[in-house]
Amino acid sequence: MPPSPQTTLDQMRKALLLQREGKPARARPIYEKLLKQDPGNAEATSLLGLCFLEQGYPKRAVALFERAISLSPDEPRYRINLADALDALGDTDAQLAAVAQAAEASVDPALLHRKARLLRQTGRLPEALAAYDTALRAAADALPDHLDILVEFGQTLILAGKHEEAVRVLQFAVSAAPGHRIALLSLADALNLLDRGSEALELLTGSAAAFDTETDAAYRLSLANALWSVGDYAGALAETDRALALRIEGSDARLLRGKALYHLGRFPEAVEELERALAIEPGRHESAMTLGLACLADGDLARGWKLAERRVEANLKGLIQRRFSRPKWQGEPLAGKTLMIWDDQGIGDVLRSTSMFAELAEQAERLIVECHPKLVPLLARNFPQVTVRQRSHEGLNALLGGEDFDVQCAFGGLPALLRPDIAAFPKSTASLTADPARVAALRERAPLGGSRPKVGLSWTSGNRAGQRGRSYLALEDLLPLFAIEDVDFVLLDYTDRTAEIAALQEQTAFTLHRWDDLDLFDDLETVAALTSCMDLVISANTSVADMSGALGVPTWRFGPVTGTILLGQDNPPWAPATRYLRLDPMRPASDVVPQLVAGLRSWLAGR
């Protein structure tokens, strides 16, 4: 005779109480007895499955949860329990399938959240974002109870590279729960990724009450990230050490510590730290790439070039990536073959790479150079033996059979093959020449044809975001330079500095020659000609210095100690006529100005 409903309810309560007390072994016989009497009891079936799961028997739990679902298909808790059991078995695909099936006919926020989380864990980010959106809509009437869904949505936006959207989502989460620890840390991460480190720093210091700052390793690491983002590398190093002392796990802290040491110019230490980061997580491309850069800075070119190529997998910001059906050139003989090389980074990287064009043209039957359209005239005139053309759409070329080459290689991959050590760099001072006719025409303009020394200037960049801004000057910083007599200063900067110049000239008198009809951004033939008119170029670490270096014009280039063009040398081997002035990472860039002034006076005296 089956027990009365009240008896069943009492037994269920007794067993459930035992479970909650952490005694699943004592609860099991009660559920088993109930199920013998009433095999169709879905709730008892599911609770028995939980007992087995809690005792470490996920396979038996799976069978019970599947039966519970068959008995009561509309109960979402059973689907979640099944997903937990499948998770314990490590069967992510089956877990996702179970949750997705349940989510099709459910508006339960917990179930939809579980689906979104699984999609994120499996790297299916577009689907995960859509699933989080659905879960949030289902939880709209009780959002304060489901803030974790909102925060994870923001984290997934970060993973998908949608940093601006992530900031908006996480700011909303923080406004709803100002003390939400994970929301605050995630918002700081998103701000750092947008080069808004000062905002991240303000957020973390202003919300310190939400953390146990003395023991929270994640807080210390997030603070270190913000300090690194604003260029306070010593501060970042100190905070990372605090996080490590608190035994933070994973490769993040080791990677950040290595990056801080690298930016402080402590390259051997950086190499050791980045090796630790890579040992913890060998598949982390950012660690490998940064280790490669540190090796290059320390003069270990053979190892550095190879590791730095992981920049492709690391999806380095600003890196151009293309796909071809033809294989990548690996350094094999090129006799009888056509090699196509293509630009994968900025204009300056192409200008430095020109020192390798002639030797590649000698090795290959035919050399093709694909690059930004504004580089084509300059390169085509300098290398008539090379086919120079603007980069084309590789997918369309492959489809139409338009790949007219045997092998291809990005410019960034060439040094590993052609410059394995410093001895492989040519001693010639120039790889480019300016158009003589353009040079002659420019010399008709005063003061370019005059006898006084002409010094080209570029002190900044169009991109001063984040750490980059620490390596540039303001025009006002150069006033001591303008005070030097018997020299003509010429603007070489490719960005529009009109407003900055006019504003300073309203305050003080100085002369900086420039011509509004010269296009220094797109017309690189004119840029080369104007640069060739200079006796000396003083430039920040931009393509202005790469142009003067490629032309063999004496150049003083100031930049960070990392200077990826230095390769462990005092001055860049790519440009023998260039002298590199390292900026102290602990001091403002303007500290270099007295050195420039003293150097220019000495240079003038020696002419």
> Which of 420, 454, 479 is the C-terminal boundary of a domain?
420
In a domain, 198, yes or no: no
In a domain, 48, yes or no: yes
Instruction: Find all residues with CB under 8 Å of 454, minimum gap 6, and list them.
Output: 447, 448, 487, 488, 489, 490, 533, 534, 535, 536
Q: Average pLDDT for residues 21-44, to the nearest whole number?
A: 91
CB 298 within 8 A of CB 564: no
| 491: enclosing H helix or E strand | strand 488-491
What local confidence, expressed as pLDDT, does residue 479 receive?
97
CATH (domain of 343) = 3.40.50
In a domain, 549, yes or no: yes
Q: How confident is the model over 141-159, as pLDDT tens digits?
A: 888 888 999 999 999 999 9
CB 567 within 8 A of CB 559: no
Q: Give the tokens for residue 84.
A: 């937990």
Residue 394: pLDDT over 80: no
Q: At how many degrees (to 10) do helices 76-89 and 42-54 cross? A: 20
Query: Which is more confidently placed, 577 or 3?
Result: 577
CB 158 within 8 A of CB 186: yes
Q: Give the tokens for residue 280.
A: 């913890």
| 126: enclosing H helix or E strand | helix 125-138
Q: How far apart are CA 203 and CA 210, in angstroms?
A: 11
Residue 397: pLDDT over 60: no
Task: Annotate 66-79 with b (16+ C-beta within 10 A) or e (fewer).
Answer: bbbbebbeebbbbb
Which among 431, 448, 425 is positioned nearest to 378, based on CA atoms? Answer: 431
CB 175 within 8 A of CB 140: no
Within this chain, do residues 451 and 596 fall inside the same structural domain, yes or no?
yes
Q: What is the DSSP string of 20-41?
A: HTT-HHHHHHHHHHHHHH-TT-
Within this chain, do residues 459 and 538 fall inside the same structural domain, yes or no?
yes
User: For the chain, what's the residue count?
Assistant: 607
Within this chain, do residues 380 and 497 fall inside the same structural domain, yes or no?
no
Instruction: Give strand ranges (E) for 4-124.
Output: none
Q: How confident is the model over 422-448, as pLDDT tens digits?
A: 999 998 889 999 999 999 999 999 999
Q: How many domains does the chain have?
A: 3
Which among 215, 233, 216 is positioned nearest to 224, based on CA atoms? Answer: 233
CATH (domain of 24) = 1.25.40.10
CB atoms within 10 A of CB 319: 14
CB 437 within 8 A of CB 381: no
Within this chain, do residues 453 and 589 fall inside the same structural domain, yes or no?
yes
Using CA atoms, how far residue 129 sits from 82, 120, 134, 185, in Å, is: 23, 8, 9, 20
Instruction: Find all residues with CB under 8 Å of 13, minimum gap 6, and list them.
Output: none
In a domain, 60, yes or no: yes
Residue 271: pLDDT over 90: yes
Q: How far apart are CA 523 and CA 30, in angstroms?
A: 85
> Which of 59, 75, 106 is the C-terminal boundary of a domain?
106
Residue 540: which pLDDT band, with cuts at 50, 70 and 90? Answer: very high
Report the chain's mean pLDDT, rounded to a whole number: 92
Percent of the chain at pLDDT above 70?
A: 97
Q: Give the tokens for residue 584.
A: 């102290």
What local confidence, expressed as pLDDT, does residue 98 receive?
77
Within this chain, do residues 411 and 465 fall inside the same structural domain, yes or no?
no
Q: What is the DSSP string of 512-532?
A: -B--TT--TTT-HHHHHHHHH
Q: How far apart are CA 582 and CA 129, in angstroms?
A: 45
Residue 243: pLDDT over 70: yes
What local confidence, expressed as pLDDT, does residue 278 receive?
96
Which among 279, 288, 277, 281 is positioned nearest to 311, based on CA atoms? Answer: 288
CB atoms within 10 A of CB 387: 17
Which among 552, 564, 512, 511 is positioned nearest to 528, based on CA atoms? Answer: 552
Q: How confident is the model over 69-111, as pLDDT tens digits?
A: 899 988 878 888 888 898 888 888 887 887 777 777 667 888 8
Three-state secondary structure along 133-182? Answer: HHHHHHCHHHHHHHHHHHHHHHHHHHHCCCHHHHHHHHHHHHHHCCCCHH
Q: At how many degrees (to 10) do helices 197-206 and 217-229 cross? A: 150
Q: How far apart are CA 387 and CA 368, in angstroms?
A: 5
In a domain, 484, yes or no: yes
For residue 578, list its beta bridge partners: 555
Return phi, psi of residue 73, to 5°: -65, -20
CATH (domain of 478) = 3.40.50.2000
Whole-prediction pTM value? 0.83
Query: C-alpha 560: how far from its chain's center?
Result: 18
Q: Which range has the worst mean pLDDT, 8-12, 326-330, 541-545, 554-558? A: 8-12
Within this chain, do residues 586 and 527 fall inside the same structural domain, yes or no?
yes
| 410: enclosing H helix or E strand | strand 407-410
Residue 401: pLDDT over 60: no
Q: Is 368 helix (H, G, I), strand (E, B) or coil?
A: strand
Q: How confident is the model over 254-270, as pLDDT tens digits?
A: 999 999 999 999 999 99
Peptide bond into 560 cis (omega under 30): no
What local confidence, expressed as pLDDT, does residue 235 receive?
96
Within this chain, do residues 384 and 515 fall inside the same structural domain, yes or no?
no
What local confidence, expressed as pLDDT, does residue 464 receive?
64
Task: Annotate 328-355 with b (16+ C-beta within 10 A) or e (fewer).
Answer: ebeeeebeebbbbbbbbbebbbbbbbbb
Residue 550: pLDDT over 80: yes
Q: How far apart are CA 436 and CA 438, in angstroms?
A: 5
Q: How far apart are CA 37 and CA 4, in angstroms?
A: 11
Within this chain, do residues 455 and 375 fall inside the same structural domain, yes or no?
no
Within this chain, do residues 453 and 599 fall inside the same structural domain, yes or no?
yes
Within this chain, do residues 515 and 375 fall inside the same structural domain, yes or no?
no
Structural domain harbouring 75: 1-106
CB 346 within 8 A of CB 321: no
In a domain, 347, yes or no: yes
Q: Average pLDDT for residues 43-55, to the nearest whole number?
A: 92
Q: Average pLDDT for residues 11-40, to the nearest whole number?
A: 90
**Burial classification of residue 526, based on how many CB atoms lie within 10 Å of its CB (0-12 exposed, 13-18 middle, 19 or more buried):** buried
Residue 505: which pLDDT band, with cuts at 50, 70 and 90? Answer: very high
Within this chain, do residues 394 and 536 fall inside the same structural domain, yes or no?
no
Within this chain, do residues 409 and 450 fall inside the same structural domain, yes or no?
no
Query: C-alpha 542: how far from its chain's center?
Result: 19
> Which of 81, 106, 131 is the C-terminal boundary of a domain?
106
In a domain, 119, yes or no: no
What local confidence, expressed as pLDDT, does residue 428 receive?
87
CB 96 within 8 A of CB 77: no
CB 541 within 8 A of CB 469: no
Q: Average pLDDT for residues 489-517, to the nearest whole number?
A: 95
Residue 569: pLDDT over 60: yes
Q: How far apart are CA 198 and CA 108, in angstroms?
A: 40
Half-sphere exposure (CA, 13 Å, Cβ side) for 52?
Answer: 23
| 488: enclosing H helix or E strand | strand 488-491
What local confidence, expressed as pLDDT, does residue 287 receive?
95
In a domain, 163, yes or no: no
What is the C-alpha radius of gyration for the chain, rounded to an integer number of angstroms? 32
What local confidence, expressed as pLDDT, does residue 399 receive?
52
Q: How far apart are CA 6 and CA 74, in angstroms?
A: 24
Task: Annotate 267-286 with b (16+ C-beta within 10 A) or e (fewer).
Answer: bebbbebbbbbbebbeebbb
CB 99 within 8 A of CB 122: no
CB 471 within 8 A of CB 565: no
